[in-house]
Structure 1
Amino acid sequence: MENHRSSAPEPPQKRRARRRRRLVIASVTGCAVLGGVLVLLPRERDGAVPPAPARPPAPAPGPKAQARGTVTAGVPAALPDLAALIGERERHLREHPLDAPAWAVLGTAYAERARRTADPAYYPKAEKALNTSLKVGDEPSAAALEGLAALAVARRDFPAAQEWAENARELEPRRWTTHAVLLDAYSGLGDQEAVTQTLDELTKLRTGQPAVRARAAAVYRDRGWREDAAAQISDAVAGAEAPAERAAYLEQAGRLAFERGDREGALRHFQEALRTDPDQRAAQAGLGRALAALGRTGRAVEAYRTALAKAPRPEYALELGELYESMGEERQAREQYGLLRERVRRATAAGADEELVLGRFEADHGEARAAVRRLRAEWERQPGIAVADALGWALYRAGEPEEAMRYAEIATDAKHGGGVRSAEYVFHRGMIERELGHHGRARRHIGEALRINPYFSPLQAPAAQRALAQLGEPSVEGPPVW
């Protein structure tokens, strides 16, 4: 499958030189921020920081050690354990500020907490801690580089994620967690060939491990292999050892079920995820999605509000706003859209890239041409399938269906890289085709969207039904004879 990046592949020699420069820059930056990070660490006592001993003591057993094991092993940690780990590493580093591995663990834990809680304040803290690990270490650390890659993925900065993760892989080629982060980076960049190769390498390194099965399920989903994806995530759930890990895989199983229109199955997965780990906040938003599809809108609103209170992600505010809009509650919808803009502003200030969700919002609820400008820039930087769909839809909404069709094809045609069976993507393509006068293809694709998932959106699914009714049935007379 083709890679959608517009630029030609960079020569290996130039790429290696660029990576070396980046490591030097990181080391210099780490020197500058070491004191700043120590200032950020909450102090328990006044006075000078004592020098680090030759052999720093190991962390105490219990939740902190368990969280450290999950953070460094590429599986989700329970939020209370993660908080305990962060507190323990902060205390340790006040006494041992030259412990490079401890800085790497702390930075990775900060990044994971930011990802789980949607609190952008942890992004700069993670970056400073990880850069400090590179500075105080005797040599570049694969753990710190991988942590920077994971942080970049959380910020949706996929070019940086690729660069950091490839640096880490060069240092430790058999470090399987690095391959897992690379999968996220390559997927975000639309590099399907690299995704395939990296998944093969990851599977060879850790065959049968639940975390690897979950990664494989995500790749299979993107290829449209729904049964294979469901089988992989089911095995991951069965093999998970810790509650937080099992809950994360149940949430992923719920998303897969919802995408294929299985409202009841999705609801069961999300409920079980929350019973297993009440801090599984993505499952809380998924619960709102499933309840809305089942017509239980009051409960859905409650679920979304709970999710937003615990993890105020802009996409949750967009989903709740659209649910309110479908219910005729315009004031509450505007309130959520305002919250979305505020959350995007805060995340952007902390170095995150929220152009995709903001572009999607602008296309349907704001200024379509502004959405096009944002999403064009995003496509140039990281041309993933989700960006192709969003840009195509924004162009359609801005009155440019001919160009929109190019991106809709990328998002929905397997030979262009868009193998995922997404009702939303196929609906968008069908509406663009209708605007272009290709009524047969429009009827086929809009109908396919409703067959994939009749409940894919509280606003767009009813629009799909109306559009299909307006297109009418195909002619039974056949083409005219001339």
Structure 2
Amino acid sequence: MPESKPDAQPVPESKPDARPVPKPEARPDPRPASQPRPWPQPASTRRGGAKRGVIASVVLCAVVGGVCTATLREPDESPAARATEARATAAVKAAGAPTTVRLRDLAAVITDREAHLRAHPDDVRAWAVLGSAYVERGERADEATYFPMAEKALRTSLKAKPKGNVEAFHGLAALAEARHDFRAARKWGEAAVAASPKRWTTYPLLIDAYRGLGDHSSAQRALRKLTGLRSGAEVFAQTGLVYRDSGRPEDAAAALSDAVALAATPAEEAAVLLRGGELAWERGEAATSLRYYEAALRAAPGEHAALAGRGRALAALGRTSEALRAYRTALTKRPLPQYALELGELYESLGLDNAARTQYNAIRVQVRKAAAGGINHNLVLGRLEADHGAPASALRLLRAEWERHPSAQVADALGWALHRSGRNDEAISFASKATAEHDGGGMRVALHTYHRGVIERALRQNYAARSHLAKSLRINPHFSPLLAPAAKKALQAMGEPSAGGPQDVYG
């Protein structure tokens, strides 16, 4: 799920589970916490205590998708260990699947499953649990090197049990989503749902995959199945996102408000508040979005997505120095290409061209680094190259991206790259797709509307161009520090429409 993810700092703990995790009995690992552990090799291993086993069991239930329903029992576990896992499973069923797991607990379950697999390398379910834990750790710690390890573990489980292996299917769907491969996420999410239709935790992954592919009708159907199985903060948050994509911002805001009220932990509350901030921003409500982002930071201090959102809102409100600091801090927490692009364009709008170029160059480095772990940031790179680099390179990247993920976001970026390459007759087709209000979609995005207006102006469709440029500013008058002023300037240059109505407006 398009969703904000916590950074490598510990996630705020829920009050009922404030007990510290017992330290392992063996010597501490001298490697940094962010460095992946070596792949498990057959060797003699130690056993953790019962208390640590409970923590690992509860966390593994969360990382593989909530309530544990596996039929495969770990082959060589003692009766006491099996009883421990049964108690942990019962606790998860009673409390509901947690939406967030503390990093130190996640490290505990990774250590536990690695040790178990050295002694029992034929344990199908343990491989799936380990792979899912690697996915979560890679996302949370921003370490793409965990993703190849996750894929190897999950495919080891799948090879041993290719049919009905719902834990492996779920883990592969989560891995594909983390890599922004929504087509693969759809494939594995649908396989997980087919294997276990009442397992509610797979549906959010599947909904996000459909959204990433621009398949809003399927997302709505999956949401209806989810709401029939489960209620709570995560379900209301998913409902808000689907409503947003469907062009129902008021309903989306109401659903997100309910999600905040139902949040069980500070981290869960922060995740929902982030969605509320994004929705308010898209509606042009900069001050409201700032309040959401600051509330998210109070719930989860240091949350990188809230810091970047705060920078966006502060820039719109004219508090530029604070905005720059917020963006820099966000990039320190997690150097995502999207944050660097926004900061670079803010620098450029202030006439700080050298600082802007530094950010643009950093994006190319970030994208290459992420690609080594299989993460796809080509949409952001294509936007960068179209506006600040080589439009021909952007065109190649975005055509390939359109084949993989034909969403409104990709249609907009491809249309814009075509325009920047001087191919406006092709560009208008994609710009129209990006702003279409059918097939279950209808989200109003100021940037997409602006791009369409500029392309129409280049085609001398002045009446339509004027309409879309003005609409972009009505949706969000501060949608970009560079392009919102350009929209105002273009409208002034075009002047008012001639008297007598829109006849002959296409020249």
TM-score tier by shorter-chain length is 0.7 to 0.9
1:456 counterpart SS class: coil
After TM superposition, give the deviation of residue 113 of structure 1 in Å: 2.8
Q: Tell me if structure 2 keeps the 8 A contact 1:134–1:140.
A: no
- Kindly indicate whether residue 411 of structure 2 is the aligned counterpart of residue 402 of structure 1: no
Name whichever of 417-426 and 359-368 sits farther off.
Answer: 417-426
Encode CA deviations 1:320-379: one digit per residue, 9 max, x unaligned: 111111111111111111110011001112112221111111110111122112111111
Give CA deviations for 1:234-285 in whole Å, capped at 9, x if unaligned: 1111101011111111111111111111111111111111111124221121
Instruction: State the 1:435 CA deviation.
Output: 1.0
Query: 1:230–1:79: structure 2 CA closer, same or farther, 3 Å change rule?
Result: farther
* 1:364–1:43 distance in 2 versus 1, CA, 3 Å: closer
State which of 116, 126, 148 in structure 2 corresponds to 1:124.
Answer: 148
Alpha-carbon deviations, 1:365-407, whole Å to 9, x = none? 1111221121111111221111111111111111111111111
Gaps of 5+ in 2: 1-35, 67-96
State the match for 1:355 in structure 2: 378
Give RMSD over aligned pairs.
2.7
What is residue 177 of structure 1 aligned with on the other side? 201
Q: Tell me, yes or no, if structure 1 residue 321 matches structure 2 residue 316.
A: no
Moved more, 73-82 or 190-199: 73-82
Asked if structure 2 preserves the Cα contact closer than 8 Å seen for 1:66 and 1:81, the reply is no
Match for residue 422 of structure 1? 445
Aligned to 1:109: 133
The aligned residue for residue 37 of structure 2 is 41
TM-score calculated relative to the size of structure 1: 0.84
Match for residue 318 of structure 2? 295
Residues 428-457 of structure 1: CA distance to partner in whole angstroms, max 9, x if unpaired?
111111111111111111111111111111
- Name the CA distance, whole Å, in 1 between partners of 2:183 and 2:499: 51
In 1: Cα distance, 2:119 partner to 2:269 partner: 36
Displacement of 1:41:
3.5
Q: Distance in 2 between matches of 1:50 and 1:260?
A: 56
The 5-angstrom pairing of residues 212-361 of structure 1 reads: 212-361=235-384
| Alignment equivalent of 2:458, drawn from 435, 449, 453 | 435
C-alpha contact 1:107 1:147 (8 A) present in aligned 2: yes
- Would the alpha carbon gap of residues 312 and 477 (structure 1) be closer, same or farther in structure 2, given more than 3 Å must change? same
What SS does the aligned partner of 1:176 have?
coil
CA distance in 1, matches of 2:39, 2:414: 47
* Paired AA for residue 176 in structure 1: W
Is residue 2:144 matched to residue 1:148?
A: no
CA contact (8 A) 1:78 1:244 kept: no
Contact 2:311 2:326 (8 Å CA) reproduced:
yes
1:368 is matched by which residue type in structure 2?
P
Q: Is the 8 A contact 1:134 1:141 kept in 2?
A: yes
Q: What SS does structure 2 have at the residue aligned with 1:414?
A: coil
Query: Which blocks of at least 5 consecutive residues in structure 1 are unaligned?
Result: 1-39
1:383 aligns with 2:406: yes
Please give the alpha-carbon distance, in whole angstroms, between the structure 1 residues aligned to 2:287 and 2:150.
39
Determine the structure 2 residue equivalent to 1:373: 396
Write the letter of the residue equivalent to 1:377. Answer: A
> Which of the pair is proportionally richer in helix?
1
Give the share of equivalent positions with the same residue, in percent.
52
Q: Which residue of 1 aligns with 2:484?
A: 461
Check whether the contact 1:412–1:418 (CA below 8 A) recurs between aligned residues: no
Letter of the 1:473 counterpart: E
- How far apart are residue 476 of structure 1 and its match? 3.8
Kindly indicate whether the alpha-carbon contact (under 8 Å) linking 2:43 and 2:119 is maintained by their aligned counterparts in 1.
no
**1:468 CA drift (Å):** 1.4
Q: CA deviation at 1:307?
A: 1.2
1:156 to partner: Cα distance: 1.1
| C-alpha contact 2:42 2:121 (8 A) present in aligned 1 | no
Partners of 2:412 and 2:42 lie apart in 1 by: 56
**Which segment drifts farther, 428-437 or 127-136?**
127-136
Task: Write out per-residue CA displacement over residues 278-312 of structure 1, whole angstroms, 9 at most, x where no aligned residue.
Answer: 24221121111111111112111111111111211
- For 2:389 and 2:499, locate their aligned partners in 1 and report how far apart those are by CA, in whole Å: 41
Measure the CA separation in 2 of the matches of 1:180 and 1:342. Answer: 31
Deviates more, 1:192-201 or 1:391-400: 192-201
In structure 2, distance between residues paired with 1:365 and 1:138: 46
The letter of the residue matching 2:454 is: M
Q: SS where residue 360 of structure 2 aligns?
A: helix
The answer (yes or no) to whether the contact 1:51–1:96 under 8 Å persists in 2 is no
Amino acid at match of 1:48: A
Deviation of 1:136 after TM superposition, in Å, equals 5.0
